[in-house]
Structure formats: C-alpha cells, structure tokens
C-alpha cells in the first residue's frame, strides 16, 4: 500500500512538472517596466516615422539616439552590467548612425541604419548577460543573430499587459482613460468644426496650426498602427533579455558540441580536397599572366575595353574570395584536432590559400585603378575599392591567425568591417569623388565630366560642380575673338551649358523638410546661395 502511495505521489509530481507551463501565472511587471512599455510604444512610432532612413536621415538619427539613450537609462536603473563588448558595439552603432547626418549617400544611410539596429539588439542582450561567451567572443555573429531573431520572440509577457499593469502603477489606466476621452471627443469636435467652418479666417488659422495633407494623415495612421508591433518587439527584447528566456536556446555548449561533432575529417583528406584547387589557381595565373600583369604596367590588353577589364577582375575576385573563405572555414570546422603535425600543415595550407587570394585582389585593384585613371571615379568604383580593401585586411588577419593563435578571427573581421564602413561613411566619399573628377578635368588629365553624375552623387557633389562652372566661365572670359570658334567646338563650352541647366534645375528643386537635413545638403544650400 505504501509503494502504491509513493507511485501515486511521484506520478502526480511528474504530471505537475510536465504541465507547469500551463499553470504559470502571468508575468508581473514592475513600475519601471510599465513606464518602459509606454516609452517602447513611442519609440515604435518614431521608428515608423523615420522609415526609410534614406528618405529621412535626420529623423532616423534622432530615433537611434533616443533608442540607445532611453534604453541605457533603463538598463542603469535595472542595474545591468555593461561589459567591454556591450559598450564597444553600442558605441560603434552610435558612431555609424552619425553617418546619417554626415553623409548624403542613400546606400550608406540604409546600411548604417540597419547596422545600428542590429548593434542595439546585441547591446541589450550583452548588457543583460545573454551572450554565449564572455569577453570579445568568437561567437559574436551568433550572438547578433540570436539577439535579433530569437530573444525578442522568447519568454512571456507582452507590451499590452505591461502598459495596463494595475498592480504596479496607475499610469496605464490613466493613459487609457485619456485615450477613451479623446475618442469620445471626436464626434462633438467634428460637429463643432462643421458649424464653424463657414469662417475663412478660422479655417486659415486652423490650416496653419494643423498643416496636414491627406498623405500626412495616412502616414500618421500607418505609423500608429505599426507602432504597436515594433514597440512590442523592443519591449520583448528588453524583458526577455532580463528574464533570460532564451538562455537554453542556441547555447555555447550546443555550439561547441556541434563543432566537435563536425571535426571528423583527417588532415590527409583535407589536403586531397584542397590541392587540386590550388593547382587550378597556379595554372590559371600562369595562363593569364600577361592579361593580369598588364594592370600593374598600366596597359590595357588587346581587344578589351576598360570597363570589361575592371568588371571581370572584380567579379572574379568576388567569386574566388567567397570560395576561399568557405574553404578556410570548412578546414577549420571539419579537420580533426589534436595532431600537432597535422595542425601545422593545415596552417601552411591556409596561408597558401590566402596568398593566392591576395594576389588576385592586387590584380583586381590594379585593373580598377587603370579604369579610374581613364574614366574617373564613381560611387560604384569607390565601393568596389572599399570592398577589396576589406577583403585584403580579412585575409591578412587569417594569415596572422596561423602564427598568432590568440587572434580571434571572427571578432577581428567584424571589427575591421565596421571600422572600414565608418571610415567610408564619414569620409564624405561622394564629395571626394566630385572633387577628384573636377580637379582632373581642370588639369586636363580627364577628358570629360558626366553632368548626369550630379544626380547620382547628390548634394555632396554640388559645391564641386559649382566650382567647376565658375572655373570654366573664367576660361570663357579669357577667350579671344581669334579662338572663339574653337571654343564653341570644345568640351568646355558644352559642359558650361550642361552645368547651367543642371544647376538651375537643382536650385529649383532644392526645398526640403527638416527630417531630410544632412551636412552635404546644408553645404549644397550654402553653395547655391553663393552662386546666386
């Protein structure tokens, strides 16, 4: 009988344990968390109003500053622990965010805004000790993905429950009553408005106070609607991070076990798989030696134009770099560990792969430089050069890793990419492109300036194009009657006419809203006023 009782009790305890999730009481929210839920709703609204970043760069910057600042205040009040990784990534996110004001390039705006959002998610999780590993971890990319796509969707407790939490504060109920009152006021307000709308002075004054178009009203409605899911995402990221709801999802132990299980390939198998690839590279370089070396000599191969020569080099580089990085990653993942001779052999193999890749990068850069010397700079050419420099630093880091084992390759590559993007975004690359092309045209080393590039380069290029117009008009004033006919047939005369049309068109469309303000736009506006 006693045995039967013990079995019954154990069965009941097991049943209660298996169904404990169903019996959990709703999560209770503190006063601070309730306040934070309303702030998250407001941040969700600001996100909607600032989106897309390329159209509203200043608005997006303000949103990101408020997002990081308000979150930091709440984290401090909740006594979060700010480690080096959390502070470093948050600082990088904010620094990159300032390119929304410093740059006028829409591609940079989009990438900067996206990275800042990813950095914010990581920042919250790192400050609440939700990373896979402490310090500057080699699992940082997994932490980024987990913080963005896993943590906000784990755990319990939503924003609505926190907003109207009666136990911890009365703010939610007060705001709720205010919202109900506003909704009740809509009908009598509409009736009074219809009665007083006969007065034109009243309508004019009201129009100045509430200068909304139908598009503005629709945008506001959409922003309010989507503010809830976006605010809920921010709130759940915060709450789930503090609750450590995703602690058992994608853990350090599971990652290490997966890596250990994957390490099954003998060193000889790795060599057998990679050596044919290296042989193909050697044969290819020998067969194409004259074609590739011509870029270093500043000579264009026969039957090839500059665009095709540079484009082929870039896309070949892109494909080979992706393959080689995948090969190096596969070697590190699948090769068996523990054999010292085998590990040294693998390091030598990695160095050889990196050297081959760096040779290809150098030839691609030489081709691009040859193309730039002939046709000048464009944003695509600058971005291609930037990308090749990032790849160069990454493969150099891989080589150093083979000799300095302490180097953490993934965090290093991540830091290099972010730092290089920050340099690109705050350097004013579009203005530098315009200045480079204008200087070369004025000194005679560039045959032509494409005025239509003004639209691609945007506000940043305008001061340089105005300078070009001024210089060309000074040349025009120096033309004598004997050389007048030659001048009318020259590129300078045609370029002045094109510039006048383009600049007048630009001046006529120079109006903008406050949220579109960038530093290049302010400089362009100043240049237009000086021109007038």
Residue ending a domain, choose from 201, 229, 259: 259
What are 469-527's pLDDT values in tens digits?
888 888 888 777 777 777 777 788 888 888 888 888 777 676 777 888 899 988 888 88
Asked if the structure places residue 15 within a domain, the reply is no
Q: Does position 423 have pLDDT exceeding 90, yes or no? A: yes
Report the DSSP beta bridge partners of residue 335: 265
Range of the domain at 343: 263-427
Residues 422 and 468 in one domain: no
Locate 435 and state its tokens: 């200045």
Residues 100 and 185 in one domain: yes
Beta-carbon neighbour count of residue 329 at 10 Å?
Answer: 13
Residues 54 and 150 in one domain: yes
The dihedral region occupied by 338, where left means phi > 0, alpha psi between -120 and 50, and beta the remainder, is left
Contact 437, 495 (CB under 8 A): no
Asked if the structure places residue 10 within a domain, the reply is no
Residues 212 and 128 in one domain: yes
Residue ending a domain, choose from 259, 289, 323: 259
Asked if the structure places residue 514 within a domain, the reply is yes
Residue ending a domain, choose from 259, 276, 291: 259
Band of pLDDT at residue 229, cut at 50, 70 and 90: very high
Report the DSSP beta bridge partners of residue 265: 335
Residues 420 and 451 in one domain: no
Residues 141 and 271 in one domain: no
Residues 388 and 268 in one domain: yes
What are 372-384's pLDDT values in tens digits?
888 888 888 899 8
pLDDT at residue number 313 = 61
User: What is the average pLDDT across 25-42?
Assistant: 84
Residues 441 and 297 in one domain: no
Q: What is the pTM of this model?
A: 0.82
Band of pLDDT at residue 221, cut at 50, 70 and 90: confident
Count how many domains the chain has.
Answer: 3
Tell me how far apart the alpha carbons of residues 235 and 363 are, in angstroms, rounded to a whole number. Answer: 50
Residues 421 and 435 in one domain: no
Contact 335, 342 (CB under 8 A): yes
Asked if the structure places residue 21 within a domain, the reply is no
């Amino acid at each position: 009988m006693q045995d039967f009782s013990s079995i019954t009790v154990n069965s009941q305890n097991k049943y209660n344990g298996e169904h404990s999730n169903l019996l959990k009481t709703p999560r209770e929210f503190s006063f601070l968390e309730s306040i934070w839920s309303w702030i998250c709703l407001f941040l969700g609204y600001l996100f909607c109003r600032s989106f897309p970043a390329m159209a509203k760069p200043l608005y997006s910057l303000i949103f990101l500053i408020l997002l990081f600042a308000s979150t930091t205040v709440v984290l401090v009040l909740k006594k979060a622990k700010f480690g080096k990784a959390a502070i470093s990534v948050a600082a990088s996110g904010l620094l990159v965010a300032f390119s929304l004001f410093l740059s006028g390039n829409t591609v940079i705006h989009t990438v900067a805004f996206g990275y800042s959002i990813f950095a914010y998610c990581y920042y919250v999780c790192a400050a609440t000790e939700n990373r896979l590993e402490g310090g500057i971890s080699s699992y940082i990319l997994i932490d980024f993905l987990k913080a963005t796509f896993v943590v906000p969707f784990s755990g319990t407790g939503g924003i609505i429950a926190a907003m109207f939490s009666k136990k911890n504060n009365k703010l939610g109920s007060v705001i709720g009553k205010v919202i109900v009152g506003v909704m009740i006021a809509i009908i009598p307000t509409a009736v009074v408005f219809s009665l007083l709308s006969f007065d034109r002075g009243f309508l004019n004054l009201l129009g100045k106070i509430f200068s909304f178009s139908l598009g503005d009203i629709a945008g506001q409605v959409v922003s309010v609607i989507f503010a809830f899911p976006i605010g809920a995402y921010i709130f759940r990221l915060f709450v789930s991070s503090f609750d450590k709801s995703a602690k058992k999802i994608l853990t350090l132990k599971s990652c290490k076990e997966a890596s250990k299980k994957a390490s099954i390939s003998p060193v000889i198998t790795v060599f057998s798989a990679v050596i044919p690839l290296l042989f193909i590279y050697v044969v290819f370089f020998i067969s194409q030696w004259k074609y590739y070396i011509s870029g270093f000599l500043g000579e264009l191969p026969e039957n090839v134009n500059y665009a095709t020569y540079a484009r082929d080099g870039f896309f070949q580089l892109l494909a080979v770099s992706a393959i080689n990085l995948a090969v190096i990653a596969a070697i590190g993942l699948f090769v068996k560990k523990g054999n010292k001779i085998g590990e040294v052999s693998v390091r030598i193999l990695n160095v050889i792969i990196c050297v081959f890749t760096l040779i290809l990068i150098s030839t691609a850069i030489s081709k691009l430089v040859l193309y730039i010397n002939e046709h000048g700079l464009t944003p695509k050419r600058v971005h291609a050069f930037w990308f090749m420099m990032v790849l160069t630093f990454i493969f150099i880091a891989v080589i150093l890793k083979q000799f300095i084992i302490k180097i953490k390759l993934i965090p290093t590559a991540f830091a290099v990419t972010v730092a290089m993007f920050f340099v690109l975004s705050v350097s004013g690359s579009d203005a530098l492109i315009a200045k480079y092309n204008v200087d070369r045209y004025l000194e005679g080393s560039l045959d032509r300036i494409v005025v239509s590039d003004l639209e691609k380069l945007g506000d940043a290029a305008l001061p340089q194009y105005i300078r070009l117009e001024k210089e060309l008009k000074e040349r025009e004033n120096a033309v004598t009657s004997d050389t007048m006919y030659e001048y009318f047939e020259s590129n300078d005369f045609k370029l002045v006419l094109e510039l006048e049309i383009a600049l007048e068109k630009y001046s006529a469309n120079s109006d903008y809203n406050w949220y579109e303000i960038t530093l290049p736009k302010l400089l362009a506006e100043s240049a237009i006023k000086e021109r007038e």
